[in-house]
Structure 1
Amino acid sequence: MVEQHGKTLVPQIRFAGFTDPWEQRKLGDILQERNVRTSDFESNPIFSLTIEDGITPKTDRYERTSLITKTEDLFKIVSPNEFVTNPMNLRFGAFGYNKNSFSVCVSGYYDVFSIDNDKCSGFWNSYFKTSVALKRFDDAATGSLIEKRRVKYSTLCQLIFLMPKGMDEKKRIGAFFDRLDSLITLHQRKYDKLCVLKKSMLDKMFPKGGSLYPEIRFAGFTDPWEQRKLSELVEIERGGS
């Protein structure tokens, strides 16, 4: 996202009007830890944290509220625009922020925090997905076993990142990537609907069950389909040496 140009640190591409070099700052200077716990799952629905989708509604398959009986099992509240990270998988991209207009709750194992007092969460959500950030998380991960290396919140606070000096550029970049994410989601939904439509048409536009008529046909076609051997329609070509 940022590279060295002479003695300054600036992105290769910027929005018009922003010319100041980015600065190096410790994340602990702009992170605000959140540790509010709850067992009120009606007011704070349980969400999951995935590498693919960030914070997402928990599916029925993984619903475990009936098993929560002890105080230490209480989940952490994530207010709008607050972040959630999985210390074990942060280096693989297990983080996200609450884009909803309501609070949710996640496993008490996760770290929950605000960045820049929730003023530009979209910026950090995008920044943390870059290869530079993921490598920094991987380098900072600690643990005796490779598969159990994690980035604790205290470690996260010590990491130094390049960032714009002003909040305006952060907001502008965050809004840009949020818009791209919305467009991707929109087109993904269209794609999913088209896949369902195609599957339905494949089922209804070819005869089945001994019938000679498809369930759905284009206008003007009324003749029954006929049964033919494929050998009557296929020409086999054998290549020579």
Structure 2
Amino acid sequence: MFPQEEETVPKVRFKGFEEEWSLKYVFELLCERNELSPQSPEFPLMAFIANNGIAEKGERYDRSALVNDVINKQYKRTYYGDFIYSSNNLETGSIGLNTYGKATISPVYSIFYCTLNSDSNFVGYCMTRKSFIKEMIKWRQGVMYGQWRIHEKDFLRIKVLVPSLPEQQQIGTYFRNLDQQISLQTQRLEKLKQIKTACLDKMFV
């Protein structure tokens, strides 16, 4: 459903779409969001975790003990549909879409919101594909401690093939529905495992 290398149309498309995809700069699809505020009940402090997105801080990601002024410390605000990535150590860092909602996260992250020409779900899937990550890595620069960094200005200058907004919306909705089904089936599987464990405990003394 995405064009292959050296191509401008995907092999599989939704009915009614035939035009070629066009090459766009990321800055035509995303704008940086840089809102700072302390954590609050409306904007709770959360973690951004690779492959999981916005999630509650577990012990592994809780750094509150290192903060002298927890109440007034400034964090970055993020909203549902924001695109988030860690510009440090990209190959192993977090990158993806905020599907949680209002939250505050560490200021080390770069946060972007979609322009009127882009669909957040499409952008989230498009910019986590291996081909896009490969393109991003071309812009990386070495920093201390053996890590890499991609500056926001360089990230925004990357080019990516995108279809019209209606086709973006179709693709984004399709993959979002698949993710929701996967999540639902995963929850059902976990419940079945719990039932199995409980039955085994009662059947064998």
Structure with greater Cα Rg: 1
Change (3 A) 1:17 1:38: same
* Structure 2 counterparts to residues 75-114 of structure 1, below 5 A: 75-92=75-92, 94-100=94-100, 102-114=101-113
Residue 192 of structure 1 aligns to a residue whose secondary structure is helix
Structure 2: runs of 5+ lacking an equivalent: none
State the partner residue of 1:173.
171
TM-score where L is the length of structure 2? 0.88
State the identity as a percent: 25
Kindly tell me the number of residue pairs found equivalent between the two proteins: 203
- d(CA) in 2 for partners of 1:137, 1:62: 26
Q: Does residue 1:184 correspond to 2:182, yes or no? A: yes
Task: Give the TM-score taking structure 1 as reference length.
Answer: 0.75
With a CA cutoff of 8 Å and minimum separation of 6, indicate the structure with the bigger relative contact order.
2
- Please give the root-mean-square deviation of Cα atoms over the aligned residues, in Å: 2.5
SS at match of 1:9: coil
For 1:21, the equivalent position in structure 2 comes to 20
- The amino acid that maps onto 2:194 is V
My pick for the range that moved more, 54-63 or 135-144, is 54-63
Corresponding residue SS for 1:162? strand
The answer (yes or no) to whether the contact 1:44–1:105 under 8 Å persists in 2 is yes
| Deviation >4 Å, runs of 4+ | 70-73, 144-147
In structure 1, distance between residues paired with 2:83 and 2:5: 29
Counterpart of 1:121? 120
Q: Which amino acid aligns with 1:134?
A: I
Residues 18-76 of structure 1: CA deviation (Å, up to 9, x unaligned)? 00101111112222111111113212011211112122222355444562528994110
- Aligned mates of 1:68, 1:118 — CA distance in 2: 42
**CA 1:54–1:90 in structure 2 vs 1: closer, same or farther (change >3 Å)?**
farther
Deviations 1:192-233 (CA, angstroms, capped at 9, x unpaired): 111112222221111x2xxxxxxxxxxxxxxxxxxxxxxxxx
Q: Match of 1:56?
A: 55
Equivalent residue number for residue 32 of structure 2: 33
Stretch moving more, 178-187 or 66-75 = 66-75
- Give, as a single letter, the amino acid of the residue that structure 1 aligns with 2:187: R
Q: Which amino acid aligns with 1:96?
A: G
